[in-house]
Amino acid sequence: MDYTNSPIQKITFNNQEVFIKRDDLLHKDFSGNKARKFFYFLKNDFDNITKVISSGSSQSNAMYSLSVLCKLKNWEFDYYVDHIAPFIKTNPVGNYKEALKNGMSIIEKQIPEELFQNKDKNTLVIPEGGALKEAAYGIKILADEIINWAVDANIKDLKIFLPSGTGTTALYLQKYLPFEVITCACVGDEEYLEKQFSFLEKENHPKILSLEKKYHFGKPYKEFYEIHKELKKQTDIEFDLLYDSKGWLCVNKYFDNSKSTILYIHQGGLLGNISMLQRYKYKYDKIT
């Protein structure tokens, strides 16, 4: 089954022409940037591995993608979370619900530090968000797809934009692409993102854009909800609320009337919208 070579679609949003790399369409279960990050583990044989351990939030896109990977590989999957909201426990939804259905064992405590000095040859420990060097394998394939498209379309002045959590995808795209890669920090601030880059690569980092307003990850902002709805209305494409809403605010600000060709990477993560949309509708729709 092919988990690569996603289509590229041209859209117009707020009178700005943008091309969209539809990695959300790679595969119904294994798509987006997490499919690219974990592609190395999907395509290679690990005869000794029987279990994967990772950690993060209870609605993490990486959590769900790892649950799919482990189901495909017939591996056990232990996932550590610091906290699970009582409502989510009693009413599973989104990534949490689907990862449980895939056989994930969830452990509500901080991941033990000694697991990262793992001596168990049968266990694979994956850092939160998939920030690891093996991610370069799948992201290079993504970069090659972009290069081939640009050559075929005779596009020379191309800028790649994608919002970042750990920044791993943006970092390795910049490593393998001859074009400028631009991102924005969604989980932490710009300093946090630079540190994440430096953990994996010491140089050749993507350009980081910032907005005047500081946004806290996971908090519902009215402007995020408004641009999410407007994107759906104008493009008929659903984007992620946690990352893409801030990403498109940056596109609006920095690329308005740009003479360069803009390629936006749609990184999937739409299962997470189910719980986020519930929060947005409760907070904003009832007062409009």
* Segment 192-212, tens digit of pLDDT: 999 999 999 999 999 999 999
Q: Tell me, what's the pLDDT at 118?
A: 67
Average pLDDT, the chain: 94
The answer to whether 80 and 110 are in contact (CB under 8 A) is: yes
* Segment 139-183, tens digit of pLDDT: 999 999 999 999 999 999 999 999 999 999 999 999 999 999 999
| Mean predicted confidence (pLDDT) in 209-230 | 96
* Segment 243-278, tens digit of pLDDT: 999 999 999 999 988 899 999 999 999 998 988 998
User: Is the pLDDT assigned to residue 1 strictly greater than 80?
Assistant: no
Q: Is 257 left (phi over 0), alpha (psi -120 to 50) or beta?
A: left
Percent of the chain topping pLDDT 90:
87
d(CA 244, CA 206): 17
This prediction's pTM: 0.94
Helices (H), 38-176: 39-43, 61-73, 86-90, 94-101, 135-152, 168-176
Which band of pLDDT confidence, cut at 50, 70 and 90, is reported for residue 288?
A: very low
Structural domains for the chain = 8-32+134-287 (3.40.50.1100), 35-130 (3.40.50.1100)
